[in-house]
Structure 1
Amino acid sequence: MTTDTNQQSKQNIFSLFMAAVRGKQNDFTTGSIRKAVFMLSIPMILEMLMESIFALVDIIFVSRVSENAVATVGLTESVLTLVYAVAIGLSMAATAIVARRTGEKDQEGAKQAAVQVIFLGIFIATLISIIGILFPKEILGLMGGEPDLIEEGYGYTQVLLGGNATVMLLFLINAVFRGAGNASIAMWTLILSNGLNIILDPIFIFGFGPIPAFGVEGAAIATTTGRGIAVVAQLVILFRGSSYIKIALKDIVLRVQVMLNLIKVSIGGIFQFFIATASWVFLMRIMSEFGSEVLAGYTIAIRIMMFTLMPAWGMSNAAATLVGQNLGAQLPDRAETSVWKTGKYCAIFMGLVSLIYIFFAPTFLGWFSDNPIVVENGALCLQVIAAGYIFYAYGMVVIQSFNGAGDTKTPTIINFICFFLFQLPFAYLMAITLDFGPQGVFWSITLAEVLIAIIGVIWFRKGKWKSVQV
């Protein structure tokens, strides 16, 4: 009897998994909360996991070029995180508003929000492209890159920033899909993007047939091409596919009121992530003081960390969608319960991963480099950051839940306190002033995330996010 029950349970889990991957459910305002968390989290986790796999594969190929190439990727992506700040800020607004309209059963309102966020993304990406194309060497110089690094890697920076529209639109359109409960579509488009990146990376980096070896610049060409094709697929789905939101040519109209509402909600999100990413840029600048080998170890460690941090982001995004839809359906208690359950699942996952990283960090770093300085500093970074993983889990879920409710102001304040007032001064004091070196930066990252979790949970319990209107 027990065997039959276990078999039935496994079959039910598999059936739910396949339904989640296929996107069989869009409305999560009724039924089991556990099932809702599962149905939304699975495609989002797979989506983020694919992004993490690409990041790891990318750094494996780039690390075969040179240490300067790895450091170039680290410096450029630190700057690109400022693009991500805008993209994620707008994405949070798109998810919150589309999820709210979906909960209200206002399909037309959800469609209008989708069109306006795409307009905004294209405009902002164009401005960033101009700067990236014209000033790649100056950007790397400002980040502390040495002359030989700049000469070898400026093409990577130029291509990646010049083609940032692919990143921007990939983020924004997937945010629309998630808000509408179509997390599986977001997953498949990212799988397409990153699958192409993985195939194209070695071709453009090392050359193949008539295609010359572009070195580290080839990684940027592969990334931009893969993401560009995925954006085309997203647009096809929006116009001709089977998503909850389907856009027609008549819908491509500038709607000032809808756009202003998006901007109002996204401003908090943009500043929220701008604070976090600006802090990340300054940390990278501090790390550059210790040389290319230490910087390469730090960059590799962050890539490895993202492998497990991305699935946690997937669960956090699931919480945001659940909060938005349930608030739209006037079910604030269900929204709150969804957050605590998602946080618990995320903490269990992150806790298990932290143990693996703490014990096996040197082994993981050894897969990417045989340089002892790179391995030593990268392993230490991974171990220190993993020590706070359970706090990361609750912090990410709670912060994304505020954003899902349209309350982007609260996380902005929390980020300002934890990153600008604590993390940066602590990192500089420990790493430079007190001469603790790179580990001063590593501990500043962990302790800041612990502080975010503590403040976020306290603020969330007050419940003011339940009354936010978007």
Structure 2
Amino acid sequence: MEKTENKMGTMSVFPLIISMSVPAMLSMLVQAMYNVVDSFFVAKVSENALTAVSLAFPIQTLLIALAVGTSVGINSLVSRRLGERRQEKANSAATHGILLGAFNWAIFALVGLLFSEPFFRSFTANEEIITMGTQYMSIVCIVSMGVFIEINIEKTLQATGNMIYPMLSQILGAVTNIILDPIFIFGLLGVPKMGVAGAAIATVIGQIFAMLFLIYIIVKKDHQVVISFRNFKLDFSTIRDIYSVGFPSIIMQAIGSVMVVGMNAILIGFTETAVALFGVYFKLQSFVFMPVFGLMQGVMPIIGYNFGARRRDRLLSTVRIGSIISVVIMAIGTALFWLIPDRLLLIFNASRLMLEIGVPALHTISICFVPAALGIMFSTVFQAVGSGFKSLIISVLRQLIVLLPAAFLLSKIGLPFVWYAFPIAEGASLIASIVFYLQLYKKRLKTL
């Protein structure tokens, strides 16, 4: 049992959100910087190298979907059990997280071994792209243990209100990656020149460093949850509770992978440069979306804790303040995409063709940023209170039911029109999100 009330139940909401979110937002910004630096160096190799990494992106998205989705379920369950004062159940959820991370790693190790080359051959006949892409995907998948274990420990600590160690672990991983990227890609300091494979090796080493740091923290420091395998018993009801929230989150993000595959299939019909541009867009938009996701990392345990503690006033204040902050961040991002799109693209050594198709693309897609801020907030609420299926429905609507069909139809008019599928899909999903939130409020939040 806790000796004192957790700060998530007592501290003023706005300072609480800032204290919980700023460390996560900073670490996510570092992650975004890594994404850009990684692609910056890869683009220096060749546009084919950038295309290879862009084609591998959906598989990385699937990997991250499984890792993050599982960890979201752990975060939600641990924070709710702490709010309910069920300490042993919180400890059990955290311990199960380590086992689930190891199991998920084994799945993707097999994916990397068996499916890397066939995946690339299904998209292109360019042997250089196939070779580089296969190397990159194999390494990232087979040596993915670091990310699966690290992120589950990270979300467990965040569920207790501890945001500093997760921030430090993400910064450690990203900075390690940034330092090693040019060394392994271009063969500096006596290291062999490895090109795209070097970028993958730098990535997994950064993930392993982050994992080892958090394992040390869990073993050596005191926390509000205890991860221990002493007298541990596998509890399938705990796994079920984790994935009742986590599975919809996994599917939500996996749908993102399906969306990218579908968009790549549409775009490659115009030019391979369009595929490379789409990959560049995802790197750039991470600077806008990552801080919002960091904000949500701080907001989710606050909502989950106060939902478990039946504190409706604090829960609703968190939703309101979180929405305002995320809208401001997205508005700033929209302004940047409209004011300096060419400068953003030139970071990636953009060709004249990429600039020609990329500037209007960034203008158009960024229209969806502000509506997306509210959509992300509503999805976070659904996950935090254990209603992750609502988030799943919204994600399916946004990325499959609306976006891909709209992009396919608009592609018949021309490439510049394809990008309008993004604001169309975001508008439709926001309307559905508002409807679901009102239903949730009437059925579960109003009576807290």
> TM-score, normalising length from structure 2?
0.93
Tell me what 1:466 maps to: 444
The 3-state SS of whatever aligns with 1:327 is helix
TM-superposed CA distance for 1:372, in Å, is 0.7
Give CA deviations for 1:75-129 in whole Å, capped at 9, x if unaligned. 1111221122222221221111011122223332222101112211211221221
Tell me what 2:348 maps to: 368
- Asked whether the 8 Å contact 2:94–2:226 carries over to 1, the reply is no
| Unaligned segments of structure 2, at least 5 residues | none
Tell me what 1:412 maps to: 392
Distance 1:464-1:408 versus aligned 2 partners, 3 A rule: farther
Select 1:425's aligned residue among 405, 408, 422.
405
Select 1:389's aligned residue among 348, 369, 381.
369
Tell me what 1:446 maps to: 423
Distance (whole Å) between structure 2 residues aligned to residue 301 and residue 103 of structure 1: 40
Distance 1:206-1:26 versus aligned 2 partners, 3 A rule: farther
1:306 matched to 2:286? The reply is yes
Select 2:82's aligned residue among 91, 97, 102.
102
The 3-state SS of whatever aligns with 1:368 is coil
Distance (whole Å) between structure 1 residues aligned to residue 138 and residue 106 of structure 2: 14
Tell me what 2:11 maps to: 31
Distance 1:152-1:414 versus aligned 2 partners, 3 A rule: closer
Tell me what 1:47 maps to: 27
Tell me what 2:104 maps to: 124
1:183 matched to 2:160? The reply is no
- Asked whether the 8 Å contact 2:95–2:228 carries over to 1, the reply is no
TM-superposed CA distance for 1:256, in Å, is 2.8
Instruction: State how many pairs are aligned.
Output: 441
User: Aligned AA for 1:157?
Assistant: M
Distance (whole Å) between structure 2 residues aligned to residue 135 and residue 81 of structure 1: 15
TM-superposed CA distance for 1:249, in Å, is 4.3
Select 2:414's aligned residue among 407, 419, 436.
436
- Asked whether the 8 Å contact 1:240–1:246 carries over to 2, the reply is no
Superposition RMSD on alpha carbons, in Å?
Answer: 2.0
- Asked whether the 8 Å contact 1:332–1:466 carries over to 2, the reply is no
1:134 matched to 2:111? The reply is no
TM-superposed CA distance for 1:370, in Å, is 4.2
Give CA deviations for 1:340-386 in whole Å, capped at 9, x if unaligned. 21001110121122112111101111122141112233333322222
- Asked whether the 8 Å contact 1:79–1:281 carries over to 2, the reply is no
> TM-score, normalising length from structure 1?
0.89
User: Aligned AA for 2:406?
Assistant: F
Distance 1:266-1:460 versus aligned 2 partners, 3 A rule: same
The 3-state SS of whatever aligns with 1:93 is helix
The 3-state SS of whatever aligns with 1:369 is coil
Shift >4 Å, 4+ stretches: none
1:228 matched to 2:205? The reply is no
Distance (whole Å) between structure 2 residues aligned to residue 320 and residue 233 of structure 1: 24
Distance 1:242-1:441 versus aligned 2 partners, 3 A rule: farther
- Asked whether the 8 Å contact 2:56–2:133 carries over to 1, the reply is no
User: Aligned AA for 1:98?
Assistant: V
Distance (whole Å) between structure 2 residues aligned to residue 60 and residue 393 of structure 1: 27
Tell me what 2:258 maps to: 278
The 3-state SS of whatever aligns with 2:149 is helix
TM-superposed CA distance for 1:145, in Å, is 6.2
- Asked whether the 8 Å contact 1:26–1:244 carries over to 2, the reply is no
Tell me what 2:243 maps to: 263
1:322 matched to 2:302? The reply is yes
User: Aligned AA for 1:69?
Assistant: A
User: Aligned AA for 2:7?
Assistant: D
Distance (whole Å) between structure 2 residues aligned to residue 179 and residue 266 of structure 1: 14
1:457 matched to 2:434? The reply is yes
- Asked whether the 8 Å contact 1:362–1:376 carries over to 2, the reply is no
Give CA deviations for 1:121-166 in whole Å, capped at 9, x if unaligned. 2112212211212332111123446333102332111101212222
TM-superposed CA distance for 1:287, in Å, is 2.0
- Asked whether the 8 Å contact 1:112–1:251 carries over to 2, the reply is no
Distance (whole Å) between structure 2 residues aligned to residue 144 and residue 96 of structure 1: 41
- Asked whether the 8 Å contact 1:166–1:227 carries over to 2, the reply is yes
Distance (whole Å) between structure 2 residues aligned to residue 414 and residue 160 of structure 1: 29
Distance (whole Å) between structure 1 residues aligned to residue 22 and residue 373 of structure 2: 16
- Asked whether the 8 Å contact 1:159–1:220 carries over to 2, the reply is yes
Distance (whole Å) between structure 1 residues aligned to residue 183 and residue 310 of structure 2: 52
Distance (whole Å) between structure 2 residues aligned to residue 138 and residue 209 of structure 1: 35
Give CA deviations for 1:20-41 in whole Å, capped at 9, x if unaligned. xxxxx96311231111111111
Q: Mean Cα displacement is larger for which, 315-324 or 300-309?
A: 315-324
The 3-state SS of whatever aligns with 1:244 is coil
TM-superposed CA distance for 1:278, in Å, is 1.7
Tell me what 2:41 maps to: 61
Distance (whole Å) between structure 1 residues aligned to residue 272 and residue 419 of structure 2: 17
